Amino acid sequence: MTTTNGTITPTTTEAAVPAPAQRISLPDLAPEYYKAVIATERAARQGVDPVLAELVKVHASMINGCSFCIDMHSTDAIEHGEQHHRLLSLPAWRETSWFTAKERAALALTESITLLTRGHVPDAVYDEAAAHFEQTELAQLIALIITINSWNRIGVTSRLSPAAK
pLDDT in the model for residue 7: 52
What residue spans of the chain are helical by DSSP H?
A: 26-29, 31-45, 50-64, 67-79, 84-88, 101-114, 123-132, 135-158
> Residue 20 above 90 pLDDT?
no
Mean pLDDT for 104-133 is 97
pLDDT in tens, 69-106: 999 999 999 999 999 999 999 999 999 999 999 999 99
125 neighbors 90 (Cβ within 8 angstroms): no
pLDDT for 42 beyond 60: yes
Cα torsion through 116, 49, 70, 162, rounded to 10: 130
Give the 3-state secondary structure of residue 80. coil
- Burial readout 60-72 (b: 16 or more C-beta within 10 A, e: otherwise): bbbbbebbbbbbb
pLDDT value at residue 11: 60
Q: Using CA atoms, how far apart are residues 160 and 19, in angstroms rounded to an integer?
A: 9
Is 90 exceeded by the pLDDT of residue 143? yes
- The better pLDDT of the pair 22, 149 is held by 149
Distance between alpha carbon 2 and the CA centroid of its chain, in Å? 24
- Are 51 and 81 in contact by the 8 Å Cβ rule? The answer is yes
Q: Dihedral of CA 50/155/37/62: which sign?
A: negative
pTM above 0.75, yes or no: yes
Lowest mean pLDDT among 9-13, 81-85, 111-115, 144-148: 9-13
Residue type, 9: T
Tally of CB atoms within 10 A around 154: 20
Helix 50-64 with 101-114: angle, nearest 10 deg: 40
Q: What angle do CA 35, 40, 46 make, to 5 degrees?
A: 135
CATH 1.20.1290.10 for the 29-158 domain, yes or no: yes
pLDDT value, residue 15: 78
Q: Where are the domains of the chain?
A: 29-158
Mean pLDDT, range 112-132, rounded to an integer: 97
